[in-house]
A and B are shown apart, each in its own frame.
Chain A
Amino acid sequence: MALGATFFLAIQYVAEVGWSAVIKRPLEAMGQSLPVAGIIMIVILAFGGRSLYHWMEEGITDPNAPNYDAILAGKSAFLNPLFFWIRVILYFAIWSYFARFFRSNSLQMDASPNVAAYLKNRRFAAAFLVLFAVTESLMSWDFIMSLESHWYSTLFAWYTFAGFFVTSLAALAFIVTYLQHRGYLKEVSEHHLHDIGKFMFAFSIFWTYLWFCQFMLIWYSNISEEITYFMLRQDHYRGIWLAAFFINFIAPFLILMTRDAKRKKYLLMFMSAVIFIGHWLDFYIMVVPGSMVTASHHATAHAGAGAHGGHELIYGSIGLMEIGTTIGFLGLFAYITQLYLSKSPLVVKHHPMMEESLHHAI
């Protein structure tokens, strides 16, 4: 959500968007979670990397090792621990730097009409978008696709992007409507909400388009090295897999289609929660099945069956633990976002596009 918000903020600068000037502070505040997210991610990968990623296993690329994997040896120029760690650190350093940079220039616009700060953000936003395109793609391969390191999909980076970006938009809608509920952001009109709702609707459809493209092409070609991804999910996670599709496509499609729906504050807030749950399920279905195969492999090896012995698959499930973990991370995100919202005025005081934003009407 923090990365998607920073990306959306950068687009506003590069495209010189006027209408969104009144909602830039919530976007800036959302992006401030990135350094903390980076630290947490480094801890997860440092302690849990070998439990999650089959390609991190000792000896897996060594032809003399009993667990040698020729496919992973072929991918080792990219999928090796040193290069992986360099990439991980670079991702979070780049994203955190830009999120901080945009906010610090934005704060300069509070003191006086500072067009130079706005133009500086516009220039850096252009650079950020280029870096984002590269790092987001690599990140999706590193963190998610490599969980099933024999499998690949050429549109996986787009698919991941669509999922987390629409979640960011949903979070933005939730934060803006919550602030209005508390009596803040009176400058935000139903026209602004309508635009945020349109983005939520459009990117839900975009996600569906990518979901179907990926599924249909793999199902139609029916190649064994590709189809395993969907077989695992259809056979053992069918309920979650279908729920993610229906919640992320049917619900926004039917509920957010009309003009009125996108302009109603509490309906938009409700749809933000629905989209969040739907995309949480989608990320669950992307991450858990593959990592549970690796976990099963480790569990069998530790039980003494040996690396090449047959092993029983352990399947993931959703229960109180998973819900509790999600509540914890939401609490952290809510804390950081509110903390930064409380540190500066909720609207950029001398934003050059403020008049246009205040008079925005569609």
Chain B
Amino acid sequence: MGHHGHIEVTSTQPYDFTSRNKMIAILMMVIGVVAIIAQFATHHEQTWANLLVE
């Protein structure tokens, strides 16, 4: 059964990319960079494979 009434489009505004979400995403990237550097320093044999998995 479908809706028969008129449905208004309300999502006419863009998404608000908050500074909190930006910080979380950047923090995640920093964790990634640190992990890659640490891998090259410790068990570098698997680092390229790990990067390829991603």
Which residues of A are at the interface with B, using a C-beta cutoff of 8 A?
22, 40, 44, 47-48, 51-52, 143, 179, 182, 184-187, 280, 283-284, 287-288, 291-292, 295-296, 298-299, 314, 316-317, 320-332, 334-335, 338-339, 341-347, 349, 354, 358-361
Q: Given A296-B45, A314-B45, A316-B46, are A48 and B31 neighbors across the interface (CB < 8 Å)?
A: no
Whether B27 pairs with A359 at a CB distance below 8 angstroms is no
Interface size class of B (residues with CB under 8 A): 35 or more
Q: Would you list the 8 A-B pairs with minimal beta carbon distance, nearest first?
A: A328-B32, A331-B28, A324-B35, A48-B48, A335-B25, A342-B17, A341-B15, A291-B49
B40's closest neighbor in chain A, by CB?
A321
Measured between beta carbons, the chain A residues less than 8 angstroms from B14 are 341-346
Q: Given A299-B45, A345-B14, A349-B9, are A44 and B52 neighbors across the interface (CB < 8 Å)?
A: yes
Complex CA gap A344/B12 in Å reads 8
B54's closest neighbor in chain A, by CB?
A329
Whether A321 pairs with B43 at a CB distance below 8 angstroms is yes
Cβ of B4 to closest chain A Cβ, rounded Å: 8
Which residues of B are at the interface with A, using a C-beta cutoff of 8 A?
1-4, 7, 9-17, 21-22, 24-36, 38-39, 42-43, 45-54
Cβ of A300 to closest chain B Cβ, rounded Å: 11
Complex CA gap A346/B11 in Å reads 6
Whether B32 pairs with A327 at a CB distance below 8 angstroms is yes
Measured between beta carbons, the chain A residues less than 8 angstroms from B29 are 328, 331-332, 335
List 4 additional A-B contacts (Cβ < 8 Å) besides A314-B45, A334-B25: A331-B29, A345-B11, A349-B12, A358-B3
Show 23 A/B contacts (Cβ-Cβ < 8 Å), sorted by A: A186-B11, A288-B53, A316-B49, A320-B35, A322-B50, A325-B39, A325-B50, A325-B54, A326-B54, A327-B31, A331-B25, A331-B27, A334-B24, A334-B25, A335-B29, A338-B15, A338-B21, A345-B14, A347-B9, A358-B3, A358-B9, A359-B4, A360-B2
